[in-house]
Copies of this chain bind each other. A is one copy, B any other.
Amino acid sequence: MYTYRSESLRRLGVALLTACGASAEEAAIVSDELVEASLMGLDSHGVMRYTQYAEDALSGKIRPASPIRVVKETETTATVDAGMNFGPVSAVRMVEIVCQKAAQRHIACVVSQNGQHVGRLGSYVTKCALHGFVSLAVVNSSKHGHWVVPWGGREGRLATNPLAFAAPTAERPIVLDMSTAMIAEGKIRVLRQMGKQAPPGCIITADGAPTTDPDLFYGPPHGAILPFGSQLGYKGYGLSLMVEILGGLLAGIASSQDQSYVNGLCIVAIDPEAFCGRERFIALAEDLKAYHTGTPPAPGHERIVLPGQLDDEMRARRLRDGIPVAENTWNSIVAVARRVGVDAAAVVGA
């Protein structure tokens, strides 16, 4: 395990991604997103993705500098063709569009086509909340990411389909960012590499039998992931279907067809000013925080943690202490950087 300052990892991302064809602005956006996720301890969406993003840019799967175009628009809505540019680049552009429209018309909704991996979904609703909006976002994935079963099924028909929600407060926004599945596919992969079992109730075999064995999940024949909710998993299935409809169907994409896109993003922003007023809303959000954090804890819990709070606390720690990077993650970054003439160790000043 190595430890790097966030600024060093950001500098590395910019050097690496510009060497892969990104503009300086695009490279900065992507690096900011991945480093922020690493700062929050969400390593699966953090700088370990430098390797994937760089490789995808080199292979042409991601198209750096490709234009991001609004292909259909009203005063309150937009469909954005993300042009297979880096997902965070199109997502940040979508945040700008949805906030501009919500500022003018009080509520707005923006969806994407041809979007690549957007990274941490919570980031985009957080940005909307920092602009003063209440925001809901969802992201679906095209068919090749369909690991999650409809409730009662034994073959995947949905991705882990996260949904995120954020609301402004007087300090950091309240940020919910949750998968509508029991476990992420990437987490099962990590458990398999470590020779560990998955938690009970998360995955099934190809025959639909409950299992905790990652090998039976990967097969062949491959198994599947259950929707969020354990014995009430039909609710998680319903939430996942909501994500699919908002993230995929609204943008005109068929769920049953494989697509070259990766993620379909939908962001809604609502202006509290049009309702109780922004100032009143912030006061009520603080009242809500105090009401909840003042709840006496149950045995085994020390305190009430609001959605997003642990991420913020980790962010403060890692800003101070640096970001740990696993050796194999670092080695992969070094290798892809070398391919494009970037000396990763030199850039981070190690």
Report yes or no: A250 in contact with B238, Cβ–Cβ below 8 A: no
Report yes or no: A250 in contact with B275, Cβ–Cβ below 8 A: yes
Which residues of chain B have C-beta atoms less than 8 A from A107's C-beta? Answer: 76-77, 107-109, 268
Minimum CB–CB distance for A205 against chain B, Å: 10
Report yes or no: A296 in contact with B155, Cβ–Cβ below 8 A: yes
A136 to B106, CA, bound (A): 17
Report yes or no: B152 in contact with A246, Cβ–Cβ below 8 A: no
Q: How many residues of A contact B (CB 8 A)?
A: 86
Report yes or no: A291 in contact with B157, Cβ–Cβ below 8 A: yes
Considering only residues 285-303 of chain A, those with a C-beta below 8 Å from chain B are 285, 287-288, 290-292, 295-299, 301, 303
CB nearest to A199 among chain B residues: B231
Judge if A154 is at the interface, Cβ distance under 8 Å.
Answer: yes
Minimum CB–CB distance for A226 against chain B, Å: 9
Judge if A182 is at the interface, Cβ distance under 8 Å.
Answer: yes
Judge if A145 is at the interface, Cβ distance under 8 Å.
Answer: no
Q: Mark A92-122, 1 if CB is under 8 A from B, else 0.
A: 0000000000000111110100000000000
Which residues of chain B have C-beta atoms less than 8 A from A209's C-beta? Answer: 298-299
Report yes or no: B153 in contact with A307, Cβ–Cβ below 8 A: no
Report yes or no: B245 in contact with A167, Cβ–Cβ below 8 A: yes
Report yes or no: B238 in contact with A72, Cβ–Cβ below 8 A: no
Q: A268-B268, A297-B154, A299-B208 are in contact. Are A75 and B105 (CB under 8 A)?
A: yes
A174 to B305, CA, bound (A): 34
Report yes or no: A151 in contact with B296, Cβ–Cβ below 8 A: no
Q: A238-B176, A299-B208 are in contact. Are A284 and B252 (CB under 8 A)?
A: yes
Minimum CB–CB distance for A257 against chain B, Å: 8
Judge if A132 is at the interface, Cβ distance under 8 Å.
Answer: no
Judge if A350 is at the interface, Cβ distance under 8 Å.
Answer: no
Q: Mark A66-81, 1 if CB is under 8 A from B, else 0.
A: 0000001011110100
Binding site for B on A (CB under 8 A): 72, 74-77, 79, 105-109, 111, 134, 136, 149-155, 157, 165, 167, 174, 176, 178, 182, 199, 201, 204, 207-209, 228-232, 234-235, 237-239, 241-242, 244-246, 248-256, 268, 270-272, 274-277, 280-281, 284-285, 287-288, 290-292, 295-299, 301, 303-307
Q: Name 6 interchain pairs, CB-CB below 8 A, sorted by A.
A: A134-B250, A176-B239, A234-B307, A244-B288, A253-B284, A268-B270
